[in-house]
């Protein structure tokens, strides 16, 4: 009997030890490669491979710096979340980007809309978050009662929610996302609830199984959004809203973005290109809408701030159905000096190598496509440059200044090669 009791005690201790180890293992951030679970901070060294086997937390007041060329492989059984209570600096380069991904065997057509791990969830205590030359793919898992984000009341704080790849929620914080790629995601690529923000020179594609935006802003955001390519989001490319009752009022300046085929895979009133609502204040200039569902659309029950400005946007529809949806109405917003026609084929932007007759429901992105403009494009020379942006002087993160780029005289994210 004593032996049996001893065995039970040993088993209990073993289970207890395993549980502690899973939650609190220390990470040797100076090693070339590693695996992580629990609390982490420090540096993931250049070119290393980090295996994330469970939820990780960057504690409040601490930082994790990820150097160029790091590959972060997320376990597809545990479906980890990255909880940022402190600060996160992912500083890749064009030659050696940082990648948040899954094992190569899981990067399949069957999994093209992700759901294989959670996402990067920045709590209100996160004051600085940087993603530069960073690829985020195969994220967007659904929360459960066991999810760290649910237990800590982060994001929507309940089970059954599809996570965004990136959530940020500090109205006094700073968020910079530049030169990065969001792809193979279940729903929203980003969901932002406050902060001083720059989104510039990014690409969003193959996202949104049943819904979701590329960039989803709520109240508290002062953001510059420029030179981004958004391809075939299920719902909107940009959702610009002042919902949430946070201060300051959301004020988004979106300019020189190229939006292609967005909104068609969610055939409801919400599917489209740029959606404005709930007294958001916006300035929307120099954006190129090619075969998108609608153009700039307002919620007539909660329209935008009266100080909002629109202009110098170009609209192209390969089909008459598409061209008809661009036409101004009480819901579709017209701007000053817009380049818009009434017939199919009007204002062909003359992309270098994108077939404009591609099915609007196509969600597969060809990385060989080139959305630069050929000579003679109606988008050349039609851009507006004399407007103010929030962060022209820059935002300082981790001692480095990141500025929102200046607007261009062309429309769209890319001029000529």
Q: For 268-289, how does the pLDDT look when each residue is reduced to its tens digit (9 = 90+)?
A: 777 889 999 999 999 999 999 9
| Alpha carbon distance 380, 26 (integer Å) | 54
| Alpha carbon distance 174, 168 (integer Å) | 9
Mean pLDDT of all residues in 397-412: 98
* 24: pLDDT strictly greater than 60: no
Percent of the chain with pLDDT over 90: 88
The pLDDT score that the predictor gives to residue 10 is 40
| Alpha carbon distance 416, 313 (integer Å) | 17
At residue 21 the predicted structure's pLDDT band, cuts being 50, 70 and 90, is very low
Mean pLDDT of all residues in 110-116: 96
Q: For 383-395, how does the pLDDT look when each residue is reduced to its tens digit (9 = 90+)?
A: 999 999 999 999 9
In the chain, helix, strand, coil percent, each to 5?
10, 35, 55
DSSP 139: B
The pLDDT score that the predictor gives to residue 192 is 98
Q: Give the tokens for residue 175.
A: 């968020």
Mean pLDDT of all residues in 233-256: 97
Q: For 74-102, how does the pLDDT look when each residue is reduced to its tens digit (9 = 90+)?
A: 999 999 999 999 999 999 999 999 999 99
* 27: pLDDT strictly greater than 60: no
| Alpha carbon distance 165, 214 (integer Å) | 10
Residue given tokens 């066991």 in the structure block: 146
* 177: pLDDT strictly greater than 60: yes
Rounded to a whole number of angstroms, the CA Rg of the chain reads 22
Whole-Å CA distances, 49 to 36, 234, 348, 365: 11, 32, 44, 27
| Alpha carbon distance 189, 307 (integer Å) | 28
The pLDDT score that the predictor gives to residue 270 is 76
Q: Is 177 helix (H, G, I), strand (E, B) or coil?
A: strand
| Alpha carbon distance 171, 355 (integer Å) | 41
The pLDDT score that the predictor gives to residue 8 is 40
* 117: pLDDT strictly greater than 50: yes
* 18: pLDDT strictly greater than 60: no
H or E segment and range at residue 23 = helix 2-24
At residue 32 the predicted structure's pLDDT band, cuts being 50, 70 and 90, is low
Is 232 or 13 the better-scoring residue by pLDDT? 232
Percent of the chain with pLDDT over 70: 92
| Alpha carbon distance 270, 288 (integer Å) | 20
End-to-end CA distance of the chain: 81
Q: For 349-362, how does the pLDDT look when each residue is reduced to its tens digit (9 = 90+)?
A: 999 999 999 999 99
The answer to whether the beta carbons of residues 152 and 126 sit under 8 Å apart is no
The pLDDT score that the predictor gives to residue 36 is 78
Mean pLDDT of the chain: 92
Q: For 282-330, how does the pLDDT look when each residue is reduced to its tens digit (9 = 90+)?
A: 999 999 999 999 999 999 999 999 999 999 999 999 999 999 999 999 9
At residue 19 the predicted structure's pLDDT band, cuts being 50, 70 and 90, is very low
The answer to whether the beta carbons of residues 98 and 70 sit under 8 Å apart is yes
């Amino acid at each position: 009997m004593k032996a049996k009791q001893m065995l039970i005690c040993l088993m209990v201790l073993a289970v207890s030890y395993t549980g502690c180890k899973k939650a609190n293992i220390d990470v040797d951030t100076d090693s070339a490669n590693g695996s992580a679970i629990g609390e982490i901070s420090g540096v993931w060294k250049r070119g290393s491979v980090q295996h994330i086997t469970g939820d990780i937390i960057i504690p409040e007041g601490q930082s994790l710096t990820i150097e160029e060329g790091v590959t972060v492989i997320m376990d597809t059984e545990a479906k980890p979340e990255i909880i940022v209570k402190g600060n996160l600096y992912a500083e890749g380069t064009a030659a050696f980007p940082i990648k948040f991904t899954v094992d190569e065997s899981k990067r399949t057509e069957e999994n093209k809309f992700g759901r294989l791990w959670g996402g990067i969830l920045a709590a209100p205590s996160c004051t600085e978050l940087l993603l530069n030359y960073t690829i985020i793919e195969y994220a967007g898992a659904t929360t459960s009662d066991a999810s760290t984000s649910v237990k800590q009341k982060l994001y929507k704080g309940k089970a059954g929610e599809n996570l965004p790849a990136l959530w940020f929620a500090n109205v006094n914080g700073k968020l910079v996302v530049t030169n990065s790629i969001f792809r193979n995601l279940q729903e929203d690529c980003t969901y932002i609830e406050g902060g001083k923000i720059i989104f510039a020179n990014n690409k969003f594609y193959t996202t949104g199984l049943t819904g979701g935006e590329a960039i989803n802003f709520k109240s508290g955001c002062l953001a510059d959004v420029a030179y981004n390519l958004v391809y075939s989001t299920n719902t909107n490319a940009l959702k610009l809203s002042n919902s949430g009752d946070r201060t300051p009022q959301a004020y988004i300046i979106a300019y020189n973005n190229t939006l292609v085929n967005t909104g068609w895979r969610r055939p409801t009133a919400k599917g489209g290109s740029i959606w404005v609502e709930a007294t958001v204040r916006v300035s929307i200039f120099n954006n190129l809408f090619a075969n998108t569902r609608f153009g700039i659309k307002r919620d007539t029950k909660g329209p935008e701030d009266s100080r909002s400005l629109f202009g110098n946007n170009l609209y192209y529809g390969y089909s008459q159905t598409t061209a008809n949806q661009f036409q101004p109405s009480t819901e579709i917003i017209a701007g000053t000096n817009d380049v818009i026609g009434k017939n199919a084929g009007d204002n062909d932007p003359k992309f270098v190598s994108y077939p404009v007759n591609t099915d609007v429901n196509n969600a597969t992105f060809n990385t060989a496509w080139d959305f630069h403009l050929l000579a003679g494009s109606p988008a050349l020379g039609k851009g507006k440059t004399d407007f103010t942006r929030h962060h022209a002087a820059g935002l300082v993160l981790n001692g480095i200044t990141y500025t929102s780029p200046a607007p261009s005289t062309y429309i769209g994210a890319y001029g000529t090669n």
